[in-house]
Amino acid sequence: MGAIIRGLGICVPENILTNAELERMVETSDEWITTRTGIKERHILPKDSGLHASDLGAAAALSALEKAGIKPEQVGAIIAGSVVPDKQFPATACFIQEKIGAKNAFAFDITAACAGFVYGVNLASLLIDSGQCDNVLVIGAEVLSRVVDWTDRNTCILFGDAGAAALISKGPKDRGVIRSLLRSDGGQAGILYLDNILSDKATMRMDGKQVFKLAVSEVSKVVKDTLALENLLPKDVDLLVMHQANIRILTAIAEKLDLPEEKVMINVNRYGNTSSASIPLALYEAERDGRLKPGMLVALAAVGGGMSWGCNLVRW
Ligand code: UT7
């Protein structure tokens, strides 16, 4: 059987933070942010909303299930990625399970930061291929605004909050996840990390230039390597949906793969970097906008803290 992406759902907070507002918070400019990152605005979940990552994840999951016509009780597993989990434990996936009423599922989180979704898709496809599950939710649920240092212009302009989910289900053999390839290099842990997650001192730290370089070289390589395992080439890809971190990273990778603009999904301008939620959020918009058609070869690729990166090839 194939492991197909049967439904996508998103939950994005209403509150928008524009570059103009950031100009009033730190020494920056709309011009700098736009030219260096491509970001114009990001959505923020207010702290006083009383809502957490699992609330965004649960709403996104329910919407993915509704699209797929699958009931919460039919879900066999829930895999969530979050760099800002509700609690250290239990898993955010367990909170989501309770909120959506998926009482027959087992639920766990993965810690692969912005690469969480591609790691989750790999695991979900294995659970389905093995026959253990028929329906698996893979969810990115992120409230990065709670761990951003709002006085650090190097990082605070980059991130946004969102929840996004994909329901991966047993389907026809000629569709779905064809192949995944995951990589990690713990030797690079120091270039992107978050300490003291549940304290008021929790702030993300990043060596932007090093992350940028690693992202461009390793993501383009892992996409090529994954394709090569299937005797495919970058030109065979119909749509490349990457983790949305910085438009310059996305265009540099597309250039390395020699892919034209129309084959690359970009929505970082409206959401900023939403970590593990960014790929399902971009997929959701690509599908909504008619950019995903049955039979297309779609490559998903991401890199995040760890450093961790990877690619999933999906026949849509
Ligand atoms: O999911 C993965 C997470 N992280 C990433 O993907 C981030 C990857 N890295 C990046 O996206 C880029 O490295 C950044 C956007 C973070 C920075 O862009 P850059 O082109 O590498 O800029 P830079 O760090 O070399 O800084 C250039 C200048 C510096 O000033 P000086 O030293 O040349 O005087 C910075 O202090 O720009 C300054 N700068 C800013 N100026 C205005 C840094 N941040 C800002 C800012 N506004 N927000």
Residue 141: how many other CB atoms lie within 10 Å:
37
Ligand 1 binding pocket includes 16 (Cβ within 6 Å): no
- Same topology for domains 2-171 and 176-315, yes or no? yes
Q: Does domain 176-315 have CATH number 3.40.50.11810?
A: no
Query: Per-residue pLDDT tens for 53-72?
Result: 999 999 999 999 999 999 99
Spans of all domains in the chain: 2-171, 176-315
Ligand 1 binding pocket includes 308 (Cβ within 6 Å): no
Q: Which fold has domain 2-171?
A: Peroxisomal Thiolase; Chain A, domain 1 (3.40.47)
Query: Per-residue pLDDT tens for 68-119?
Result: 999 999 999 999 999 999 999 999 999 999 999 999 999 999 999 999 999 9
Q: What is the Å distance from ligand 1's center to 303 Cα?
A: 18
Query: Per-residue pLDDT tens for 121-136?
Result: 999 999 999 999 999 9
Q: What is the Å distance from ligand 1's center to 85 Cα?
A: 27
- H/E stretch holding 217: helix 208-229
* Cβ neighbours of residue 129 closer than 8 Å, sequence gap 6 or more: 1, 3
Atom of ligand 1 nearest to the CA of 155: 16
Interior angle at CA 19, CA 17 and CA 22, nearest 5: 75
Atom of ligand 1 nearest to the CA of 215: 6
